[in-house]
C-alpha cells in the first residue's frame, strides 16, 4: 500500500509541533488573557501556541505534497546525552556553581555530535561559562553561585 505522506520527516515534525502548540494553548487557557494593550499572563503563550500550531499545520500540508528526505534512524544515544546534560546542569548548578555546571552541560551535550572534538568543546565550555557568569550573576544579579558549596565556596 502506498503512503500519502511524501515527506515523513516533515510530517512527523509537523505532528510533534502541532501537539506542542495546541498543548500550550490548552494549558494557557487557565491564565487571564487580557488584551493587546494590557496583556495578561496567558496572552503571550496563547499567541505563540497558535502561531506554532499554524506553522506546523503548513508543514504538515507541505509534507503531503512535496517529496522529502526519508526518515533516518532515531538517535537514542544523542537524545539521552542532551537530556542528560540538562539534568546534570540542574543537579550541579546549586551545589557546584555556575562555573562548573555550564561546562558540564556544554561538554556532555557536545558529545552528541558526530563531529565532536575535545579542543573546540572545551573552548566553548569555558567561553560559555564566562559569558553566563558575566550575564546572569554580574549583569542581571541572579542569586546563582559562581562556585558552589561542594567546591568549598
Q: Report whether 42 contacts 26 (CB < 8 A).
A: no
Residue 65 has, within 13 A of its CA and on its CB side, a CA count of 5
Please write the tens of the pLDDT for every residue from 109-138: 999 999 999 999 999 999 999 999 999 999
The domains of the chain are located at 8-65, 76-151
pTM: 0.65
Please write the tens of the pLDDT for every residue from 31-66: 998 887 888 899 999 999 999 999 999 999 988 887
Amino acid at each position: 500500500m502506498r503512503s500519502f505522506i511524501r515527506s515523513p520527516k516533515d510530517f512527523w515534525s509537523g505532528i510533534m509541533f502541532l501537539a506542542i502548540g495546541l498543548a500550550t494553548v490548552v494549558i494557557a487557557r487557565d491564565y487571564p488573557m487580557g488584551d493587546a494593550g494590557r496583556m495578561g499572563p496567558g496572552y503571550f503563550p496563547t499567541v505563540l501556541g497558535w502561531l506554532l500550531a499554524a506553522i506546523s499545520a503548513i508543514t504538515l500540508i507541505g509534507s503531503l505534497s512535496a517529496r522529502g528526505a526519508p526518515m533516518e534512524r532515531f538517535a537514542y544515544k544523542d537524545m539521552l546525552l542532551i537530556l542528560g546534560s540538562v539534568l546534570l546542569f540542574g543537579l550541579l548548578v546549586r551545589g557546584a556553581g555556575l562555573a562548573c555546571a555550564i561546562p558540564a552541560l556544554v561538554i556532555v551535550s557536545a558529545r552528541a555530535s558526530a563531529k565532536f572534538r575535545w579542543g573546540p568543546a572545551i573552548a566553548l565550555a569555558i567561553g560559555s561559562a564566562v559569558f553566563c557568569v558575566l550575564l546572569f550573576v554580574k549583569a542581571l544579579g541572579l542569586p546563582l553561585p559562581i562556585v558552589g558549596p561542594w567546591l568549598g565556596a
